[in-house]
Copies of this chain bind each other. A is one copy, B any other.
Amino acid sequence: MSLPHAILTALLEKPSSGLELTRRFDRSIGYFWTATHQQIYRELGKLEQAGLIRVLPAEAPTRGQRKEYEVLSAGREELTAWVARVEEPRAGRDPLPLRVRAAAVVGSAGLAPELRRHLELHRQRLAEYRDIERRDFPPGRDAEPDRLRHVVLKGGIRLEHFWIEWLSEVLDELPGDAPA
């Protein structure tokens, strides 16, 4: 399981409340992982129980019943161990190629518009990632942590490329498809 480790990483980068974490999952962490706020709160509870993180006492009372968490040393150790752990790569699980395969059997009626919609979404995400890259990784920053974070982002960019190219290829194979 990776969600707890994703949370530990995010909290080490900056102690945060549940909702802040949720927002950060929509951005940087989210290139390769997503989570809803409910998942995150539940996981924060478990991590606290397990003694890997703790609540920072609030200084000024804020909105709602806001709780900031920080990582304890046991949490840092767990994350350090996870980095080197032997784990099998988990098979990708994307329904879209499956749908193309189904279309090979029952016909591709109605598939093209859905593919074009996905193509557009991936183009948008690619553009966002490029913006982030320009903003956060200007040339010259080359301490190791920065280089590693950058290479993760480049992975996100590469992956969007993959989808864009593959979707274009599929659209070329579909009958009666006028280019968008």
Complex CA gap A127/B93 in Å reads: 21
Q: Is A47 an interface residue (CB 8 A)?
A: no
Contacts of A98 in B (CB 8 A): 2, 5-6, 9, 29, 32-33
Alpha-carbon separation in the docked complex, A139 to B58 (Å) = 68
Give the distance in Å from the alpha carbon of A155 to the alpha carbon of B158 in the complex. 14
A158 neighbours in B (Cβ, 8 Å): 162, 165-166
Once the chains bind, are B91 and A34 in contact (CB under 8 Å)? yes
Contact sample, A vs B, 12 pairs, CB 8 Å cutoff: A2-B95, A9-B98, A31-B97, A33-B98, A79-B106, A83-B106, A83-B107, A92-B92, A97-B152, A104-B152, A155-B166, A162-B162
A29 to B91, CA, bound (A): 12
A101 at the A/B interface (Cβ < 8 Å)?
Answer: yes
CA of A80 to CA of B95, assembled, Å: 14
Task: Choose, from A15-23, A60-68, A115-123, A128-136, the stretch at the interface.
Answer: A115-123
CB-contact partner of A117 in B6, B86, B165, under 8 A: B86
A22 to chain B, nearest CB (A): 14
A178 at the interface (CB under 8 A from B): no
Chain B residue nearest in CB terms to A102: B9
Q: What is the CA–CA distance of A50 and B42 in the complex, to the nearest angstrom? A: 34
- Given known pairs A158-B165, A173-B147, the reply for A76 and B2 (CB within 8 Å) is no
